[in-house]
Amino acid sequence: MQGLHKLQLVKEAKRICPDLVIVLGEDLTPFRNASKALYRFVRAFSWNDRVERLGFDELWLDVTDQIDYNLALLNPHDLARSFFHLSRDHPTHGFAFDATSFAGTTFPSLTESPSPSDMTQTQDSATLRLLLTSHLARFLRNQLELHKNLTATAGISTNKLLSKLVGNLNKPNGQTTLLPPYFGEHSNVTAFVDAHDVAKIPGIGFKLAQKLREFVLHRPATFDDGLVYGGTRETVKVGHVRNHPELNVETLEKLLGGPGSPHGIAVKVWGLLHGADHSEVRAARDTPKQISIEDSYLRLDSLDQVVKELRMLAISLLKRMHADLLEEEDEHDQDGATAGPDSSCKQARAERPARLEKRRWIAHPATLRLSTRPRPPLNADGTRTRTFARISRSAPVPNFIFSLSTPIESLAERLVNDALLPLFRRLHPEKTGWNLSLVNVAVTNMAEAGSNAKSSSGRDITSMFQKQAAPSIHSEPARKLLPANHVPKMDVNSGADAVAADQDSRAEFGCAAEAASSPMEEPAAPLPPRPQLSHDSFSTVFTSPDARTGSEDLLVPIASKDSRSDVDGGEMDDFNDGSGGDGDADDLGLCECEACGATMPAWALAGHARFHAP
DNA sequence: TTGTCTCAG
DNA sequence: GATTCTGAGACAA
């Protein structure tokens, strides 16, 4: 950490760090692999499969179901000796923890532990829920470190927005829980969110931020001019916007709405400014919605060069398709679904000699797209440079690219000649005169190769129909984790990602969906004045990975020891969270449950007994 | 469906 | 508002 940041000029970077080695070009493969491994690892802990990725190294988990379950099993009279169940089916799968204090840090910081009597009263179950979630988050982080040698940072709150923001507080290798109250005068939410620059709010990007700044400053916001450093940046905080006398949902709609803008943008942004975020943690996916490969160039202006580059891009794209859309056929995949760790199964399969013949496509992209970024034509005279970024043309994916018996190089060659070059001619009809700074080749419109419900991950489809059993906890590489929150509906469709959100929680919490349409939210008013958080049950764990390097958002390829850890993880029973923080979890004598024969720490028996309760 | 835009890391 | 290499969602036509 020597003060280098992203987008820094190379010159500047070298000045600060003379030893800097610049590597041109990059191969994201190791990062992509690490990212997948992280995803798989964390996903195995989820009951509802609501695990959403953001970029390579962030995840949100909606762990509402697990928190509901564990809250119900908690013994209010002995919170210090609690046991967190990671499985509904295996009462001994889980970890010991002390439910009288939060794991990790909280915001605001807590001077003393919440009193047990407070917490166990239903009206304050929000605190207890978040507390449980903090222990789950710490446990997951510990597992990640133990099995994958990856550290992670987590944020715990009730929705994606808050979990992500609060996750920034204790950055490398820490975790933070946003404490209640989430509503009312002394809400920690508004206090917390208000202090952020508007542009720091996920969902408020450059354009929206500029409009908001302009509105509160009453003049065009100045942003960094060009690449000049030191341009003044007037900071506009969320609080400035939220408390601006003339700003409300109506005026916001005028400011941000209009043609081209997403519907309900004002309501959405107004919500974000208040810490409200009703977006769900989406269900985990087995396949991406698109795969794209691109490269940028200083100058690309001859057809020869273009053909050459298209060939390279086509090869990369085909490799990516093979890596991401191909699955080994599973002859006897009994164990895959519920028992074994995906990783060890896959490894075993990979060692089989005839595996090449066994692969099949789990998704077929229907559309091929070629995009370029023409370098803006220099305008010596007054004409302004119209610098729209990318232009693209698309066409159906030719079927031959799915051939598994043809060498990728041959497929690529044909792909270029039959499909990409025609697209290129459509994009750039002129024979010459263009100069490209970027070329991108993508496949989109994935059609899942339906087949059966037995994907390699084995969890996706079944989880749509019922609450699934316990995740098999063992290994698979992992990298970072994320926030979890809880979501409302059973949104099984929606093409892409929507798996079942498990939602019961109606008791004292009430699900988000309900909250949205009932008391919580301002009723019929076309534009709700002050959006409330949907206070329900969200329990979010948000984590962002800390690369071991200490750099912020760099994914570190999994080290060699990871492959060994893939083999472990056979048994999950009776492990504790190893944090040391809840020290009493160690060295406990094991007892056997009379009802089911399960073994567990003696003190866990009482809580466990409720497991058998009618 | 196609192409563009915005937002995210 | 641009830089890199992605990926996703939403809108207009």
Over the stretch A301-315, which tens digit does the pLDDT of each residue have? Answer: 888 989 999 999 999
- The mean pLDDT of A523-534, rounded to a whole number, is 31
Query: Nearest nucleotide (C1') to the CA of residue A207?
Result: B6
Of the candidate ranges A3-12, A201-210, A336-345, the one whose mean pLDDT is the lowest:
A336-345
Residue A469 has pLDDT above 80, yes or no: no
A480 against A401, higher pLDDT: A401
pLDDT of res. A441: 94
pLDDT of res. A605: 44
- The mean pLDDT of A118-125, rounded to a whole number, is 58
**Integer distance in angstroms from CA A10 to C1' B3?**
34
- Other C-beta atoms lying within 10 Å of the C-beta of residue A28: 12
Residues A124, A535 contacting (CB under 8 angstroms): no
**Integer distance in angstroms from CA A264 to C1' B2?**
25
Angle (CA) A293 A476 A537, round 5°: 90
A560 residue type, one letter = S
* Ranges A22-36, A97-111, A421-435, most confident: A97-111
Contacts of A228 (CB under 8 A, 6+ apart): none
Query: Nearest nucleotide (C1') to the CA of residue A390?
Result: B4
**Integer distance in angstroms from CA A371 to C1' B3?**
10
Using a 10 angstrom Cβ sphere, with 0-12 exposed, 13-18 middle and 19 or more buried, the burial of residue A178 is buried
pLDDT of res. A440: 92
Nearest residue for C3, CA–C1' = A7
Residue A453 is classified by DSSP as S
**Integer distance in angstroms from CA A382 to C1' B1?**
38
pLDDT of res. A110: 83
pLDDT range class, residue A293, cuts 50, 70, 90: very high
Nearest residue for C11, CA–C1' = A260
Residue A224 has pLDDT above 80, yes or no: no
Of the candidate ranges A8-12, A331-335, A569-573, the one whose mean pLDDT is the lowest:
A569-573
pLDDT of res. A416: 94
Query: Nearest nucleotide (C1') to the CA of residue A494?
Result: C9
Identify the CA nearest to A180 among candidates A455, A470, A610, A538. Answer: A538
- The mean pLDDT of A278-289, rounded to a whole number, is 91
Average pLDDT, chain A: 69
Nearest residue for C8, CA–C1' = A289
Q: How far apart are CA A346 and CA A317, in angstroms?
A: 23
Nearest residue for C9, CA–C1' = A262
**Integer distance in angstroms from CA A307 to C1' C4?**
22
A262-276 b/e (C-beta count within 10 Å ≥ 16 → b): eeebbbbbbbbbbbb
A612 against A268, higher pLDDT: A268
Contacts of A583 (CB under 8 A, 6+ apart): none
pLDDT of res. A356: 52
- Tell me the H-state helices in A182-302: 188-194, 206-217, 238-242, 249-256, 265-273
- Other C-beta atoms lying within 10 Å of the C-beta of residue A24: 4
Q: How far apart are CA A551 and CA A521, in angstroms?
A: 41
Residues A138, A67 contacting (CB under 8 angstroms): no
pLDDT of res. A117: 55
**Integer distance in angstroms from CA A68 to C1' B9?**
32
pLDDT of res. A381: 54
- Tell me the H-state helices in A428-543: 460-465, 512-517
- The mean pLDDT of A178-184, rounded to a whole number, is 94
A613 contact to strand C (CB, 7 A limit): no
pLDDT of res. A471: 25
Residue A341 is classified by DSSP as -
Tokens at A145, concatenated: 């470190």
Q: How far apart are CA A104 and CA A115, in angstroms?
A: 17
- Rounded to two decimals, the pTM is 0.73
pLDDT of res. A103: 97
**Integer distance in angstroms from CA A101 to C1' C6?**
40
Nucleotides of B under 7 A from a protein CB: 1-9
Q: How far apart are CA A48 and CA A499, in angstroms?
A: 8
pLDDT range class, residue A532, cuts 50, 70, 90: very low
- The mean pLDDT of A416-421, rounded to a whole number, is 94
A222 contact to strand C (CB, 7 A limit): no
pLDDT of res. A173: 92
Spell out the SS3 assignment of A92-141: CEEEEECCCCCCCEEECCCCCCCCHHHHHCHHHHHHHHHHHHHHHHHHHH
Contacts of A48 (CB under 8 A, 6+ apart): A62, A64, A65, A283, A463, A467, A468, A499, A500, A501, A502
**Integer distance in angstroms from CA A91 to C1' C7?**
39
pLDDT range class, residue A105, cuts 50, 70, 90: very high
Q: Which helix (H) or strand (E) holds A364?
A: strand A363-374
Query: Nearest nucleotide (C1') to the CA of residue A313?
Result: C5
Query: Nearest nucleotide (C1') to the CA of residue A6?
Result: C3
**Integer distance in angstroms from CA A426 to C1' C13?**
19
pLDDT range class, residue A510, cuts 50, 70, 90: very low
Contacts of A193 (CB under 8 A, 6+ apart): A162, A165, A201, A238, A273, A274, A275
Nearest residue for C10, CA–C1' = A262
Residue A15 has pLDDT above 60, yes or no: yes
pLDDT of res. A493: 22
Residue A489 has pLDDT above 50, yes or no: no
- The mean pLDDT of A220-230, rounded to a whole number, is 49
Provide the β-strand partners of residue A326: A361
Residue A375 has pLDDT above 60, yes or no: yes
A289 contact to strand C (CB, 7 A limit): yes
- The mean pLDDT of A32-52, rounded to a whole number, is 92
- Other C-beta atoms lying within 10 Å of the C-beta of residue A378: 8
**Integer distance in angstroms from CA A228 to C1' B6?**
24
pLDDT of res. A387: 58
A387 contact to strand C (CB, 7 A limit): yes
**Integer distance in angstroms from CA A197 to C1' C11?**
28
**Integer distance in angstroms from CA A391 to C1' B4?**
8
Residue with tokens 């109250």: A181
Q: Which protein residues have Cβ within 7 A of any strand B atom? A: A 54-58, 164, 199, 201-209, 367, 369, 371, 388-396, 426, 445, 553
pLDDT range class, residue A299, cuts 50, 70, 90: confident
% of residues, chain A, pLDDT over 70:
59
Residue A373 has pLDDT above 60, yes or no: yes
- Other C-beta atoms lying within 10 Å of the C-beta of residue A452: 8
Residues A533, A510 contacting (CB under 8 angstroms): no
Nearest residue for B9, CA–C1' = A55
Cα pseudo-dihedral A519, A524, A530, A534, rounded to 10: 40
- Residue A9 main-chain phi, psi, to 5 deg: -65, 140
- The mean pLDDT of A73-85, rounded to a whole number, is 95
Angle (CA) A340 A282 A344, round 5°: 15
Identify the CA nearest to A340 among candidates A571, A85, A577, A33. Answer: A571
**Integer distance in angstroms from CA A76 to C1' B8?**
42
A19 contact to strand C (CB, 7 A limit): no
Spell out the SS3 assignment of A304-319: HHHHHHHHHHHHHHHH
Q: 3-class DSSP state for residue A540?
A: strand
Residue A334 has pLDDT above 70, yes or no: no
pLDDT range class, residue A452, cuts 50, 70, 90: very low
A602 contact to strand C (CB, 7 A limit): no
C-beta within 7 A of nucleic chain C, residues 432-491 of A: 437-438, 440, 442
A328 contact to strand C (CB, 7 A limit): no
Nucleotides of C under 7 A from a protein CB: 1-12
Residue A595 has pLDDT above 70, yes or no: no
Query: Nearest nucleotide (C1') to the CA of residue A265?
Result: C10
Residue A481 has pLDDT above 70, yes or no: no
Identify the CA nearest to A42 among candidates A501, A613, A476. Answer: A476
